[in-house]
Amino acid sequence: MKGVARTVIPPVSLFLASFLICAIFTRIADPIPVQNDAAEYFRLAENVAAGKGISLDGANPYPYRAPLFPSLLGGWFFATGQPTVLSARIYQSVCIALSVVFSYFLALTLFGNRRTAVVIASILACHPSLVTFTAFVLQEPTLLLFTTLTVWLTLRWLRSGGVRAAVVAGTSWGVATLGKFVTVFLPLIPFFFLLFPGKRGNRISSREALWACAAFLLVLAPWTVRNYHCFHRFILVNDQGLGMLEWNVRHADPPDSGEEGLASSLLGIFRYGPGERNKPAGERFVEELDAQGVRGEARRNRMAGYVIDHWRYFLAQRSWNAMYFAVPSTEWFIHSGKVRTVRDNVPVLLLMLLQLPFYLFFGARVWGLLRGVDPGHAISYLVLFFLCYWGTYAMLVGEPRFSLPVYPVLIALAPWEKWA
- What is the per-residue pLDDT across 16-25, written as a single tens digit (0 to 9) for each? 999 999 999 9
Q: In 3D, which of 101, 97, 50 has the Cα closest to residue 71?
A: 50
Q: Report the share of the chain in percent with pLDDT over 70.
A: 88
Determine contact, residues 360/377, Cβ cutoff 8 Å.
Answer: no
Whole-angstrom distance, CA of residue 114 vs CA of residue 396: 37
Q: What is the pLDDT, as a whole number, of residue 317?
A: 81
Whole-angstrom distance, CA of residue 333 vs CA of residue 240: 28
On whether residue 359 sits in a domain, the answer given is: yes
Residue 372 has pLDDT above 90, yes or no: no
On whether residue 27 sits in a domain, the answer given is: yes
Question: What b/e sequence results for 180-206 when a residue is b if at least 16 CB atoms lie within 10 Å of its CB, and e otherwise?
Answer: bbbbbbbbebbeebeeeeebebbbbbe
Q: What is the pLDDT, as a whole number, of residue 274?
A: 43
On whether residue 120 sits in a domain, the answer given is: yes
Q: What is the pLDDT, as a whole number, of residue 342?
A: 47
Mean pLDDT over 297-316 rounds to 82
Whole-angstrom distance, CA of residue 145 vs CA of residue 291: 42
Amino acid identity at 179: G
On whether residue 266 sits in a domain, the answer given is: no
Phi-psi category of residue 23: left, alpha or beta, with phi > 0 → left and psi -120 to 50 → alpha: alpha
Residue 265 has pLDDT above 60, yes or no: no
Mean pLDDT over 64-70 rounds to 93
On whether residue 271 sits in a domain, the answer given is: no
Residue 312 has pLDDT above 50, yes or no: yes
Residue 222 has pLDDT above 70, yes or no: yes
Candidate from 151-155, 387-391, 405-409 with smallest mean pLDDT: 387-391
Residue 270 has pLDDT above 60, yes or no: no
> Using one digit for the tens of pLDDT, what is the confidence trace for 1-48?
666 677 888 999 999 999 999 999 999 988 888 888 899 999 999 999
Q: What is the pLDDT, as a whole number, of residue 273?
A: 45
Q: What is the pLDDT, as a whole number, of residue 148?
A: 97
On whether residue 211 sits in a domain, the answer given is: yes
Mean of all residue pLDDT scores within the chain: 85
On whether residue 374 sits in a domain, the answer given is: yes
Q: Regarding predicted confidence, which is higher, 136 or 268?
A: 136
The confidence band for 79, taking pLDDT boundaries of 50, 70 and 90, is: very high
Q: Report the share of the chain in percent with pLDDT over 90.
A: 48
Q: What is the pLDDT, as a whole number, of residue 278?
A: 64
Q: Regarding predicted confidence, which is higher, 279 or 76?
A: 76
Whole-angstrom distance, CA of residue 101 vs CA of residue 418: 23
On whether residue 276 sits in a domain, the answer given is: no
> How many structural domains is the chain composed of?
1
Q: Which domain holds residue 334?
A: 2-243+323-418
Mean pLDDT over 244-259 rounds to 73
